[in-house]
Amino acid sequence: MELPRREFLRLGACTAALGAPRVASAQAFPSHPVRIMVGFAPAGGTDIMARLVGQSLSERLGQQFVIENRPGAGTNIATEAVVNAPADGYTLLLACLPNASNATLYENLRFNFVRDITPVAGVTREPFLIEVNPSVPIKTVSELITQAKTNPGKISMASGGIGAGNHIAGELFKMMTGVNLVHVPYRGAGPALVDLLAGQVEVMFASMSSSIAYVRTGKLRALAVTTTTRLPELPDIPTVAEFVPGYEFSFWTGIGAPKSTPAEIVDKLNKEINAALADPKMKARFAELGVATIPGSPAAFGKLIADETEKWSKVIKFSGAKAQ
């Protein structure tokens, strides 16, 4: 049955009106300040990434992107705050690797990260370095493996705490090599690095941004980088994969939003974040920190999160680690 022309036009107008608010909301977004929740204390590497992105988005979109630090429970406090926030784009999360590993590490989370957070955009991937105090007579990954197998339980491995990037990078190494390194968790990577410098612990999987200066000045010895390719900043340092085929670890960050955030707002944020990452000044700043940018679509960032959640589930189950 054909509709009368007047009725057809009325229905068309109603359909357009229903779609108009979503389009208009995306065009107007943001009309007031946006919060980016960070699950770590100020001045750490993850906080610095959030502030660089927030500053760029503030300049590009004409509204303040305010960094709000909610440290504690391995990023779960900040994540839960975003999960429970209105899905309007005005509360975002600086998502990172612990969000993937926490799904297995914590038994009673009140949210499901993959289900309850909408991926917006990837931001950075940072390599780590296997480092020893110069007083330790180990100069290669092969020597570390040999010494650890010859003296099981005698070599200590510092980390920023159970579930921290340093910890799970080390557990992956232990799983793939069969060595027994004694995990020594600290209340943060900073104190762990201090004790490594002092010779109180032998080994640490440390982030580039926190430790490259000590490597360059000879205060720490880098055995290998944890990414699958050598780094331009340290071209003479081999990769772990050159000794342990298939080994790969990098600490990633990105932006997430509450579930059901309108696709138009997610796409707008994704476009602006990718544009910010392409800015030469931003690229130079990230390069100074020893991190690489990972621009891409929301779907690409979602795949990274899903893949990392599966990968670290296996490692954490192998290690037997549980959050305390």
- Mean pLDDT computed over 123-151: 95
Burial of 207 (0-12, 13-18, 19+ CB in 10 A): buried
Residue 4 has pLDDT above 60, yes or no: no
Residue 25 has pLDDT above 70, yes or no: no
Q: What is the DSSP letter of 239?
A: B
So what CATH class is 32-125+251-319? alpha beta
Four-residue CA torsion sign, 291, 293, 299, 303: negative
The per-residue pLDDT for range 273-304, each reduced to its tens digit, is 999 999 999 999 998 888 999 999 999 999 99
Domains 32-125+251-319 and 127-242 alike in fold: yes
pLDDT band at 160 (very low <50, low <70, confident <90, very high): confident
**Hunting for tokens 């998502």 — which residue is that?**
95
Q: Tell me how far apart the alpha carbons of residues 148 and 125 are, in angstroms, rounded to a whole number.
A: 29
Residue 28 has pLDDT above 80, yes or no: yes
The per-residue pLDDT for range 116-133, each reduced to its tens digit, is 999 999 999 999 999 999
Average pLDDT, the chain: 90
36 versus 188: the higher-pLDDT residue is 36
Pick the CATH number of 127-242 from 3.40.190.10, 2.60.40.10, 3.40.50.261, 3.30.40.230: 3.40.190.10
pTM of the model: 0.85
- For the chain, give every domain's residue range: 32-125+251-319, 127-242
pLDDT band at 161 (very low <50, low <70, confident <90, very high): confident
Q: Tell me how far apart the alpha carbons of residues 6 and 29 are, in angstroms, rounded to a whole number.
A: 35
Can you give the pLDDT at residue 131? 97
